[in-house]
Structure 1
Amino acid sequence: MPLTDAKIRALKPKAKPYKVSDYDSLFILVTAKGSKLWKFKYRFNKKENRLSFGKFPYVTLKQARQLRDDARSLLEQGIDPSQERKKDQNEAKAQSEHSFANIAAKYRDKLVKEGKSAETLKKKDWFIKMANADFGNQPIHEISAQTILTTLRKREEKGHYETVGRLRSTIGAIFRYAIASGIAENDPTYALKDATIKPTVKHRAAITDKPTLKRYLKALEVYHGKPETCIALKLLMLFASRPGEIRKAKWHEFDIENKVWSLDAERMKMRRPHHVPLCQEALNLLLELKEITGWSEWLFPSQSNSKKPISDSTLNQALRRIGFGPEIVVAHGFRATFSTFANESGLWNPDAIEAYCARQDRNVVRGIYNRSLYWEERVKIADW
C-alpha cells in the first residue's frame, strides 16, 4: 500500500534502520534515532543506485514523489539522475565561488600581498562593501553594465560624484582581476566610462603668495592651542610631507645624530622608502617636542587614546582656529606651498624639489636614482 502522511508520522524507530516502501521504487528509511529519510532506488547501465531526497517532514510525501518522477524522466532520456545532481551541485558551487564578493575578497588579498597601506585597504573595503550590497552574491560573469550603473546612480543621485568614479574604478579592477584569473571575459565598467557625472577637479587650498604666508606665520607664533599641535604645523612646512606621514610619525624613525627622518615604504603613498633631511630649525622643534611627548612612541599621540596618533582632522581644526579657513589652506596644501616657493626661487633643480616632496617619478628607475643623486641638494633645500 502506498504511504500516507499519517502512516509516515506513525513510524517509530527500531533497534536497526528499516525501510518502508511507497511505490515505483520510492521508500522511506527510518533510522535507529528516528529520522525518516527519503530514498529512490533505480538501475542505470545495469547497476543499482540510490538517490536521497531529504528528510521527512521537511520534504513532504508529495514533494518526494515529484522528485522521484523527475528522476524517472531523466532515466528515460538516458541520463543518470545521480550524475545530473552532482553536475548541478558543482555548477552551484562554481557560481558561489565565482561570486563578485568572493572575487573581490581575492582581489583584496592581492592588494595586501602587494603591500598596500592600511589606509588604501580601508578605502577599498568601503567601495567593495557598496558593490557587495547590490550584487555581491551574483556570479561575476553574469553581472551586466546596467547592474553596475544602477549601483553607481544611487551615489550619483546624492551628489557623490567623486565616490561614483572611485567605486567604478574599484569594481573595474575586480573585473580585470577576474579576467586575468579566467573567470570573466570582459569588464563592463569600461562601457560606463562616460555614463556618470564627472566631479569638478578641486585642488587642495594652499598658500602660494608671500603676504598670506607672512600673515600665516605671524598667526602661528601667537597660537594658543597645544604646543605640540603648533610644532606639527611647523614641521609640516619644513618637511613638505603629507599630513598622515607627520601625524603618524614615531620617534624611532628619527636619527638626530645624522639629521635624517627615515620612513619605510609602507608609510608612503608611493610605496617607496623616503628620507627627509633635518635642518637645524627642525632639530630644535624635535628637541622641544621630545620634552612634551617623548614618553610616547608617537611624536603626536592622541589625547583620548595614547596608543594612537592624533586624528586626521587635528591639523585642519588648528588652522581654522587661527583664522585660516578651508578656502585659504588645508594641511595637505603645505606641500604645494613648499614646492611653489622652492621653484620660484630659481635656486634648486626641480627634480630635487620633487624628490624632497616624495612625489612619484614617472620613470621608476630614474626615481630610485634620484633619491641618492639629489640628497646633498635636498639637505641644502632643507636649510634654505
Structure 2
Amino acid sequence: MGSFTAKKVQSLIKDGTPGRYGDGNGLYLMIPRKGVPYWMYRYTFAGKRRELTLDKYADLSLAEAREQSVEAQKTIRSGVDPVAERKREEQVAIRTVQDLFNDWYQDLEKRLKHPNIPKRVFERDVAPSIGHLTLDSVTPMDVRAIVRKVANSGRPTIANDALMYLKQLFNHAIKLGLLTYNPASAFNLNDAGGIEKSRDRTLNLDEIRQVFRIFRDNSDSFTRDNYLACALLLILGVRKTEMTEAQWSEFDLKNKQWVLPGERSKAGVGMVIPLPPQTLAWLEELKTRACGSDYVFPSRRSSKKPHMGKDTLNRAISKLFGREPGKKPQPKNRMGDIAEFTVHDLRRTCRSLLAAVGVPGHVAERCLNHKLKGVEGIYDRYDYFDERKEALTKVAELVEPAINQ
C-alpha cells in the first residue's frame, strides 16, 4: 500500500499547491500551476527515466490509479516500454483518411497562419468522397474524381488547391510510415483546374457608376452593408477580410484614421490608414447600423462568426450576375453586359485609380500595404502617411459621386 489515503489526496487537491506528490512505487499526484491535477507513473526503462501520464484526477480514483501503475509495472517486467507502447497505439488509431487529416491538421495549426483554409477544402470537397475510406484503399481514381468534380463545379483554383492538399496529406501518411505510395503524386495542375492566369480585371469609372446603380436598384438582395463595404474597399484598397472583420476599436473617426493591426493584415504588418472625408459619413452610418456590435460589419445571421462571412460579398455580387451556388433555377442577370468581377477586383481597381490620379508608384504600393521591393523596401521605412492621405482622398473625390446618389 502507498502512503496516500483518499482523504489526503482530497486535501492536497483542495489546497491546490503546485507540485509532485508521491504515493510510493512510482505513482505521483501531479498538481500543475495551470490546468487540472492528474496521476503520473515514473519508472526507469533501459537506464532512462520515463513518465507515463495516467489520467486526470477527476476521472481516476486513488485505487484505480494504483491499479494502472501495477499494470504498467507488469508491462515493464515483460520488456515493453509503456510510453513507447502508447505512441504505437496512437499511430494505429490513424486508420481512415479523416483520421489522417486530423493528425496532419495539428501540424498545420503550428505552421500556417490560416490552417482553416485547407480544412475548409478538405471538409467540403474531400471528406464527403474519401474521408471514411481506410488509407490503403484510396486509389488515384478517387483523387481524380475529387479534383474533376471541383473543377467541373466552376472552381478551377479550388481544384488546384484540393490536389495540392491531397498530395501533402498523403505525404504526411508516408512520413508516418502508414503508406509507401502517394495516390495523388502523379497528377499535376492540368489534371485539376489548369494553369491559373493572373487576373487583371479592373473597373473603369463608367462601370463603377453602372455597378453602384445596379447595387442600389437591387437593395432587396444587395444590402446596405454590402454596398458600403464595396464603397470602402474601392476607395481604401484594403483586402476583403481586413475590412469585413474590422472592429470599431481599430477606428479613430475623430482623427480620421484606421489602425489595422498586424495580426489581421495579410502582409503581417500593421498599418495606419488615413480615412478620406468622404468615407467618414459611411462609417458613421455603419456605426448606427451596427447597433452596439464590436464589429463594423456584424453578422446579420445567427452564424458562429460575429462578423460578415468570407463569402458574403462575392456571393451577393455573383447573384447579380445570375449565378447562385446551390440554387438550380439561377437568378436573372442584373448586370447586363458588364464583365464579371470579384471583390478582390475592387482592390485592383483602387490601384489603377491611384495611377489615374497621378499617384507615384511607391506611394500607391504603400496605400495597398504592399512591401516595397528591393533596396527601396529595405531602406525606406518612411510610411508616406500624408502622401497616402492625399492619394486616397483624390480617389474618393473621383468615385464618391457614383456612390452617394
TM-score by length of 2: 0.56
- 2:389 corresponds to which of 368, 379, 383: 379
CA distance in 1, matches of 2:141, 2:370: 34
- 1:167 corresponds to which of 162, 168, 172: 162
- 2:348 corresponds to which of 336, 346, 363: 336
Partner of residue 31, structure 2: none
Q: 1:250 offset after TM fit, Å?
A: 1.7
Contact 1:247-1:309 within 8 A present in 2 as well: yes
The structure-2 alpha-carbon separation of the partners of 1:191 and 1:376, relative to structure 1 and needing over 3 Å to count, comes to farther
Contact 2:201-2:341 within 8 A present in 1 as well: yes
Partner of residue 192, structure 1: 187
Q: 1:288 offset after TM fit, Å?
A: 2.8
Letter in 1 for 2:349: T
CA distance in 1, matches of 2:379, 2:171: 32
Residue deviations 1:237-296 (CA, integer Å, cap 9, x gap): 112123333222221121224433233344344444344321111223212322332522
Greater C-alpha radius of gyration:
1
Contact 2:258-2:275 within 8 A present in 1 as well: yes
CA distance in 1, matches of 2:287, 2:300: 16
Partner of residue 65, structure 2: none
CA distance in 2, matches of 1:90, 1:219: 60
- 1:308 corresponds to which of 288, 306, 315: 306
CA distance in 1, matches of 2:282, 2:94: 55
Taking the TM superposition and a 5 Å limit, the aligned residue runs for 1:346-357 are: 346-349=358-361, 351-357=362-368
- 1:153 corresponds to which of 122, 145, 149: 145
CA distance in 1, matches of 2:252, 2:335: 33
Q: CA RMSD in A?
A: 4.5
2:273 alignment partner, SS class: strand
- 2:117 corresponds to which of 117, 120, 128: 120
The structure-2 alpha-carbon separation of the partners of 1:91 and 1:285, relative to structure 1 and needing over 3 Å to count, comes to closer
Q: Is the aligned partner of 1:280 residue 2:290? A: no
Contact 2:233-2:240 within 8 A present in 1 as well: yes
The structure-2 alpha-carbon separation of the partners of 1:132 and 1:89, relative to structure 1 and needing over 3 Å to count, comes to farther
Taking the TM superposition and a 5 Å limit, the aligned residue runs for 1:90-239 are: 94-97=91-94, 101-114=98-111, 116-117=113-114, 119-120=116-117, 122-126=119-123, 129=127, 132-133=130-131, 135=133, 137-138=134-135, 147-156=139-148, 159-160=152-153, 161-177=156-172, 189-193=184-188, 196-199=191-194, 201=196, 206-217=201-212, 226-239=223-236
Contact 1:265-1:274 within 8 A present in 2 as well: yes
Contact 2:143-2:184 within 8 A present in 1 as well: no
Contact 1:261-1:275 within 8 A present in 2 as well: yes
Letter in 1 for 2:365: E
CA distance in 2, matches of 1:273, 1:242: 13
1:191 alignment partner, SS class: coil
Letter in 1 for 2:348: A
The structure-2 alpha-carbon separation of the partners of 1:266 and 1:190, relative to structure 1 and needing over 3 Å to count, comes to farther
The structure-2 alpha-carbon separation of the partners of 1:185 and 1:200, relative to structure 1 and needing over 3 Å to count, comes to closer
Contact 1:316-1:331 within 8 A present in 2 as well: no
Partner of residue 256, structure 1: 253
Letter in 1 for 2:366: A
2:299 alignment partner, SS class: coil
CA distance in 2, matches of 1:360, 1:180: 36
Q: 1:335 offset after TM fit, Å?
A: 0.9
Residue ranges of structure 2 left out of the alignment (5+ in a row): 1-77, 322-332, 395-405
Letter in 2 for 1:355: R
The structure-2 alpha-carbon separation of the partners of 1:122 and 1:275, relative to structure 1 and needing over 3 Å to count, comes to farther
Partner of residue 47, structure 1: none
Residue deviations 1:202-238 (CA, integer Å, cap 9, x gap): 6668443233234345556777565444322211211
CA distance in 2, matches of 1:90, 1:299: 47
Deviates more, 1:202-211 or 1:281-290: 202-211
Contact 2:251-2:259 within 8 A present in 1 as well: yes
CA distance in 2, matches of 1:348, 1:362: 15
CA distance in 2, matches of 1:130, 1:366: 49
Letter in 2 for 1:171: L
Residue ranges of structure 1 left out of the alignment (5+ in a row): 1-81
TM-score by length of 1: 0.59
Contact 1:128-1:170 within 8 A present in 2 as well: no
CA distance in 2, matches of 1:317, 1:344: 28
Contact 2:202-2:352 within 8 A present in 1 as well: no
CA distance in 2, matches of 1:267, 1:324: 33
2:207 alignment partner, SS class: helix
Contact 1:205-1:328 within 8 A present in 2 as well: no
The structure-2 alpha-carbon separation of the partners of 1:257 and 1:362, relative to structure 1 and needing over 3 Å to count, comes to same
CA distance in 2, matches of 1:149, 1:291: 54
CA distance in 2, matches of 1:122, 1:262: 30
CA distance in 1, matches of 2:292, 2:357: 40
Aligned length in residues: 294
